[in-house]
Amino acid sequence: MEPTKIPAIKGRIGNTVYYCATMSFGQISRMVKKVDDELHTANSLKEQIQRSLSNNYIRIKEYILNREDRFFDSLVLAVYDGDPLWTEIRFEVENNQYPNIGLLEFSGREKIFPVDGQHRVEGIRAALLENRELENETISVMLIGHQNTTEGMKKSRRIFSTLNRYVKPVRLGDIIALDEDDTVAIVTRDLLETYPLFMGERIKASNNKSIPQSDKKAFTSLMTLYECHLVLYWVFKCQKERHRYVKSQIKDQLKYRPSDDIIAEFNRYLVGFWDCMNSTFEEIEAYINNNSDNPAAELRSTENGGNLFFRPIGLLPFVEAVARILLATNKSFDEIISGYVNLNRNVHSDMWDMILWNPITRKMIMRNQSLVNSLLIKMMDDSILTEREKTNMISKYATIFNIELPEAERRIATIRL
C-alpha cells in the first residue's frame, strides 16, 4: 500500500476514537483486505467468518454496475500496524474555532479490514474488475483503531458482532410502503388508494401476514396482499415475455424500476384479477358494499372461522392455484375463477375442518398452506400437479386424519367443485 493522505473528521464515542472520511472505490479495492486473523486465531472460526461472506456481494456488484442512483451507507474499517499519523487543521470562522478536522496519513504499512461492510467491499472490488471507470467514485468510511492482541481482538469482535446484530434488513412492510423500484410495491400502494376492496381500513397494515382477532374490518393484511400480487406479477411476466421465470428471478427484477407503461399495464392486470374475484364471489361484493363498522366480523368469525378468502392462509393458496392453472392451461382469469364459484368457502366445513380449522379449539390451522394449494388445483385439474405434489398431498392428508394412504387417496378423489 502506498503512502496516502485522507481528509477526515475526528470523533469519540465511549472509549473508541474514530475518523469519518471518504475513500474512492479504487482505494477501497487496494487498501482494504478481507477479515482473516484479526477477529479469531482459530482456523475454524476464521473459516466461519469467510463463509458468512455470501453471494450477496454479487448482487451489490450488479447494483453498482446497473444503477445510476446507487448509494451506500458508511463502511466501518479497522486499521492496525503501520504508523497512521493524525494532523489536525484548526479552522476559525467568525471567531469560532472548529477543531477535530484534519488529515489522516497512512505510511503504507497499515492493514485495514472491514468491521462492517465486507459485502460492500467485495461488491466494489468485483465491480471494478468489470468497469475501471468507477475507481474515482467515493464512499463514506469510519476508521477505528485495532490492536492485534487478545484484548484488541475482543474489542473488534464486539464491535463487529454489535453492528451486524443490530443492523436489520429492511422489513417487507417498509418496502411496500416506500420502495420506488419494486413494481409490486408501487402498484399495491396505488390500489390501496384507488381500488374499493382495499381502500380505507380494508387492508391491515402490519409486518406479518396474520390479522388480529380484534380486527373486524380488514379484508386481508398488507403482507398477504403483497404476496398475492407478487404471485400475479410472476404470471404477468411469464405471459408478457413468453418465458417461464422461476420466482427467484422475479424477485431480482423487482430491484429495478420498469417503465411507467409497464407499471400501468400491471396495474390493469391486477384490477382485472380482482374484478373477477368480486364478480364471481358474492361475499366479496357484499363486503365492499357493507358500510357498517365491522364489515368482516362474520367473514372472519372466531366462532366458525368465517370465509376462506378472508383468511390469509386461504387467500394466498387460492391466488397461487389460479396462477398455476393459468400458466398450465392459458385460460383467462375469468374462466378459472368462475370455475370455483361452487367452491365451499366456509372454513368450518367438512372440506376444511382439521385442514384449515380446528373445530375443537376453534382456532385456525396455519401449517397446511401447501396442502390447501394442492387441493385447490386438484379440484380444477389434477394433471397440473406433479407426481411429487400428488404424493405429498395424499401423505399430508393421511397424516391429518390418521388414515391409511389408500383411504386418503380415495377421499381426495371425491373432492370436487
Confidence grade of residue 74 (pLDDT, cut at 50, 70, 90): very high
pLDDT value for 8: 93
Question: Are residues 227 and 313 both part of a single domain?
Answer: yes
Per-residue pLDDT of 332-352, as tens digits, reads 999 999 999 999 999 999 999
Question: Are residues 227 and 285 both part of a single domain?
Answer: yes
78-87, 146-155, 258-267: lowest mean pLDDT where? 146-155
Residue 154 has pLDDT above 60, yes or no: no
Question: Are residues 226 and 325 both part of a single domain?
Answer: yes
Confidence grade of residue 161 (pLDDT, cut at 50, 70, 90): low
Question: Are residues 121 and 248 both part of a single domain?
Answer: no
Q: What is the mean pLDDT of residues 50-66?
A: 78
Nearest residue to 269 via CA among 241, 316, 229: 229
Residues of the chain above pLDDT 90, percent: 63
Question: Are residues 152 and 195 both part of a single domain?
Answer: no
Per-residue pLDDT of 216-264, as tens digits, reads 999 999 999 999 999 999 999 999 999 999 888 888 889 888 999 999 9
Separate counts of helices (H) and strands (E) for the chain: 16, 13
167, 202, 231: which is the final residue of a domain?
A: 167
Please say whether the dihedral angle defined by the alpha carbons of residues 79, 81, 82 and 87, taken in this order, is positive or negative.
positive
Q: What is the mean pLDDT of the chain?
A: 88
Confidence grade of residue 15 (pLDDT, cut at 50, 70, 90): confident
Find the Cα–Cα–Cα–Cα dihedral 345, 351, 355, 357, rounded to 10°.
60
Question: Are residues 157 and 179 both part of a single domain?
Answer: no
pLDDT value for 36: 60
Question: Are residues 11 and 29 both part of a single domain?
Answer: yes
The boundaries of the domain holding residue 342 are 173-413
Q: How many Cα neighbours within 13 Å face the side chain of 278?
A: 16
Per-residue pLDDT of 177-220, as tens digits, reads 777 889 999 999 899 989 999 998 899 987 688 898 899 999 99
Per-residue pLDDT of 33-43, as tens digits, reads 876 654 444 34
**322 near 271, Cβ under 8 Å?**
no
Question: Are residues 190 and 100 both part of a single domain?
Answer: no
Confidence grade of residue 108 (pLDDT, cut at 50, 70, 90): confident
113, 145, 167: which is the final residue of a domain?
A: 167
Confidence grade of residue 415 (pLDDT, cut at 50, 70, 90): very high
- To the question of pTM greater than 0.75 for the whole model, the response is no
Question: Are residues 342 and 197 both part of a single domain?
Answer: yes
Question: Are residues 152 and 216 both part of a single domain?
Answer: no
